[in-house]
A and B are shown apart, each in its own frame.
Chain A
Amino acid sequence: MKIVVPVKLIPDLVDELTIDATGAALDTTWLRLIINEFDDHAIEQAIILKERSGGHVTVISPNVEGVEDMLFTASAKGADKLVKLNGNFDGSVNNHALARGLLPLVQELQPDLVLVGVQAHNDMDGTLGALLAEYLHVPYVGYVSGVSVTSNQAIIRKEYPGGLVAEIEIALPAVLGIQASEQPPRYVAISKVRQMMKTVSIDEYEIPVFETHGGATVSRMYQPEVAEKATMISGDVDETANKLIDIFKEIGVL
């Protein structure tokens, strides 16, 4: 079974996000990029499927800062083929553009399954997986947290609110939007990643032009205007704890 996992590297939300001089986009000067955590789960799910019933896993990602570390880490986990996409990945590359750019490569790889993180926090024009599925003319289901494959179909677990799960049969090839892998993404030692850097090569694939239509133009980006902000408790830890005790008493839980 051939599995393809397209991965996005996105801003780390732990860092402060600032707006650039245009007032309509994120300032990317000092931005640290990390793997979209749902994509990390998609890689894990692909490796789980490979371990369970054999297969070949290809991980693909735009050639932006951090791509090699991410790809070698995927390799250390068990990915067989690594591809970085070369192109002008400026702020205008939305998911529609990325899906169109990925299309010829994914078609060439002829996967039975494409696993993609169900969403990324920088999605503004839909999710990559669903768009790619439609361009590939194959079915898509998102919010998936379990996959088992039998010959030409997969039985998947789709999550709904309240903890309800639907068991769905989907004909292959298909694209699945992964919410969570069946096991948490595995940890790999840095030494193993370093070993991959020495022994594994990364293929490159050119995307000469991005067609970006399919999203909206942003005219203004800003931090949310807070109508009511929390009353912040000041003081040292002891004072803070005392104030919280007072609050607990006031609301009647103590």
Chain B
Amino acid sequence: MNQDIFVTIEYLRGTVADISYVMLSAAHELAQFTGGKVIAVLLGLNAKNLADDFAADEILYIDHASLAEFTSQAYQFVLAEVINNHNPRAVLFGHTSIGTDVANCLSARLDVPLVSSVRKFTPDGKFISQIFGGKLMAEGDLPEPLVIVTVVPGGYKPEAGKASQPAHVTMVEAPTLEDMRVTLKNYIEPEAGDVDISKEPILISIGRGIQNQDNIILAEELAQALGGVVCASRPVVDQGWLPTSRLVGKSGKAVKPKVYLALGISGAPEHVEAITGSDVIIAINTDPVAPIFSLAKYGTTADLFDLVPLLTEKVQQAKGS
């Protein structure tokens, strides 16, 4: 066993995901405690140049035709071998659609403990996980001697995971990758939708608190008065009340409006990570301890069903005057 921290790099179609840089940044904090190196692990086909801006002491690059695009099974096979051969102290994955598919299976396969949803490491090497929809944090020692960690955004800035000079790249041979039982057929592009919420300056966003489809009109009227558009968190889209093109969150769009008005949104981590680019967040939620209030600039616990119609009226008056 050594004290190195491995970071499994995530990218899709040639673009490195922000979470990869967040993990590199987190790994540096943890490596300071363990005294090991930060090693980025990159899998792909002719993808070595993606590593040019990784803030790492070393890059392990595995090149193979079966790694041209992400599939869970090929990544598991390769990373199981890399971990067994190198015995690092910790292996970081994104708590994402890519990372969790691999990390969880490796924990069971290699019989290595897993700590999920880690937001921060403390200077004395403890993890801090974000659980119960962001309502509680859990802290503890990282299991010894090896641990797999899935990392959520928010605890480290991606910029701190970038370097101006490329680190040394070590080529690692891939194991045999045959008889894969998971294969990518193709990508389906996102629905274009009538508006691109990632470019809209005024967003009225609705969550579970809107209660039913008939109430969406309240948000639409306010949006119309303000000249903005309505978007939503996951539960609203899953109910089919708004199209996927209006989804803000992990599987939807990240937004950066001038104002983000969150109506009845609790602020689950999957949603929060997509709205941090907003200039001003205003939250309306009757739950005074809703996590959204720790991110919002302004908040009120007024009932949205009382407040929103009145607010719409006052906006209309202000515009009319």
Contacts and interface: CB of A to CB of B under 8 A. Distances in A.
B129 interface: yes
B294 A140 contact: no
Q: Is the interface of B mostly helix, strand, loop or mixed?
A: mixed
Nearest to A247: B298
B132 A216 contact: no
B115 A170 contact: no
A190 interface: no
Interface stretch (A72-80, A202-210, A222-230): A222-230
Interface string B231-256: 00011001110001101001111100
B3 interface: no
A216 B141 contact: yes
Contact of B258 (A162, A184, A226, A251): A251
A105 B81 CA distance: 30
Given A166-B187, A247-B282, A240 B307 contact: yes
A220 B279 contact: no
Given A124-B115, A168-B182, A232-B300, A131 B108 contact: yes
Interface string A159-198: 1111111111111001001011001100000000000000
A214 B311 contact: no
A127 B99 CA distance: 12
A233 interface: yes
Chain A, interface size category, equals 35 or more
B188 A165 contact: yes
A84 interface: no
A125 B191 CA distance: 34
B171 interface: no
Contacts of B258: 251-253
Interface stretch (B21-29, B48-56, B57-65, B285-293): B285-293
B85 interface: no
Interface stretch (B36-44, B159-167, B313-321): B313-321
A218 B139 contact: yes
Contacts of A162: 190, 252-254
Contact of B298 (A37, A140, A233): A233
Nearest to A173: B181
Nearest to B129: A124
Contact of B182 (A141, A216, A241): A141
Nearest to A119: B100
A218 B113 CA distance: 13
A240 B104 contact: no
Interface string B117-157: 10000000011011111111111111100010010000000
Contact of A254 (B117, B138, B201, B318): B318
A13 B282 CA distance: 21
A87 interface: no
Nearest to B202: A253
Contacts of A219: 126, 139-141
Nearest to A138: B181
Contact of B135 (A13, A118, A140, A183): A13
A159 B117 CA distance: 19
Interface in A137-169: 138-143, 155, 157-169
A254 B113 contact: no
Given A160-B251, A233-B299, A240-B307, A121 B133 contact: yes
B294 A230 contact: yes
Contact of A214 (B107, B132, B136, B227): B107
A223 B287 CA distance: 15
A163 B147 contact: no
B81 to A, nearest CB: 16
B113 to A, nearest CB: 5
Nearest to B13: A164
Given A161-B250, A214-B107, A167 B187 contact: yes
Contacts of B130: 224
B307 to A, nearest CB: 5
Given A160-B97, A167-B186, A16 B289 contact: yes
B205 interface: no
A135 B283 CA distance: 43
A125 B282 contact: no
Given A122-B131, A164-B12, A183 B240 contact: yes
A100 B104 CA distance: 14
Most buried by A among B133, B238, B245, B289: B238
Given A219-B139, A248-B259, A158 B97 contact: yes
B137 A163 contact: no
B140 A161 contact: no
A13 B292 CA distance: 13
Contacts of A134: 104-105, 107-109
B77 to A, nearest CB: 11
A50 to B, nearest CB: 20
Most buried by B among A96, A219, A230: A230
B114 interface: yes
A161 B251 contact: yes
19 contacts: A17-B135, A19-B136, A123-B116, A124-B115, A126-B116, A129-B104, A160-B97, A163-B245, A170-B181, A214-B113, A216-B127, A216-B140, A224-B291, A227-B294, A230-B283, A230-B298, A232-B300, A240-B300, A253-B201
